[in-house]
Structure 1
Amino acid sequence: MARTENQGPADGVTPHLSIPDRRAAEAMDFYKAAFGARELARMPSEDGRLMHAHLIVNGGSLMLHDEFPEHVGPDHRVGPYNGVTLHLQVADADTVWKQALDAGAAVEMPLQDQFWGDRYGVLKDPFGHRWSIGAPVKAPT
């Protein structure tokens, strides 16, 4: 079956975020404001929680849903930091950085020129997920 533009990328790895406290719809709005995400799908459950959503962020797919603790063990609850960082490689890190801060992200590691040649920093979104932002500024030495 051929893929259409609205389906998003077919290959690669797609992060799938679990959002605590019934805030998945709010997270979608944040990702749209912070990173220019485009919504492809939204499927609510019968009890009003968001069962599945699909966004395109910076050309890649991102799926998310409200937490459903009744379907997973206690070790799968979303915590303050789950060890995962979502990385966005962009043309202009300063613009994306400011846009994310304006939308409500918090600085984890300041945006600055790094020794490997990128302008790079790390943000935390209001839902506990870490996002790194990078843009090339020069060839690594």
Structure 2
Amino acid sequence: MNKAILFNFDVDKANKKIRVERSFDAPIDLVWAAWTEADILDQWWAPKPYRVETKSMDFREGGRWHYAMVSPENEKHWCIFDYETIQPEKQYAGIDAFCDENGVVNTSFPRTHWTNNFNAGQEDSTVVTCELQFKALEDLEALVKMGFKEGFTMGLQNLDQYISAQFYLRKQKKPDNRARVCSYVNFPGNTEEAFNFYRSIFKTEFVNGIQRLGEVPGQENLSEDVKKMVLHVELPLVGGHILMGTDAPKEMGFTLTQGNNMHISVEPATREEAARLFNELSEGGNVTMPLQDMFFGAYYGSLTDKFGINWMINHQNI
């Protein structure tokens, strides 16, 4: 996680384009997910102290991402991205726009066409190249004047942090494919306190101890308090049930609200059973991450069912 970061930002006024080239210390499937899944985009797309809230996302050709940039004062600036073409883990393109809460485009502002390319770099790194095409030179100049370079750079730095921490959390593996059900909980910074409380009640011990955020490569800029927070912890409860947990501190761009900080994690024995459970649970609900092969060796997806319950389906490809 110590590779030099490639970053080029070029303004081509003659062709009314901006070209951004940026490397990430992670394989393509990981980086692709971070650019195409709403729950991850919400964690990094906005420059701090702003944050992103996705209202809806339909990542397919002809689909749309509808989201708000939310200020510290909770003022929402609504945007959309209309997807035109998608080549999985290679490229996607579409047009952005400012809009209202209902997705009605604000024609007072120009739309920009984006083409995002994903290419494998050296040693499992990925290079993302974004090409922004404008209809008029004044549109390009207006975006630059608004601080696009500075804001986008901050967002990409957020993504560096997310890749090295949040995705690393999902690398925890069990030794075999026996089916099991676990509960996965997130806390804003007091996971250790909570799990010590649960340990005292259930009289069990942590599996493999407590791993901390400071152990993740690339987190040197975190405060000492955040470095001490919990990266991953597992505690057996009763009947073979495992409670898993992690800290999701606001200092790293996470926003926890009561109700979104707990998932039922189901680990089926086969891919077929994983697909069946995912498809049937998601009927009438909201898919937050499509079921797919992940870089950490799992067939994984997450959803909120029609009753508002959060689920993770996680089959380990062992």
Q: TM-score, normalised by structure 2?
A: 0.21
**Which of structures 1 and 2 has the larger relative contact order (alpha carbons within 8 angstroms, sep 6+)?**
1
Q: TM-score, normalised by structure 1?
A: 0.43
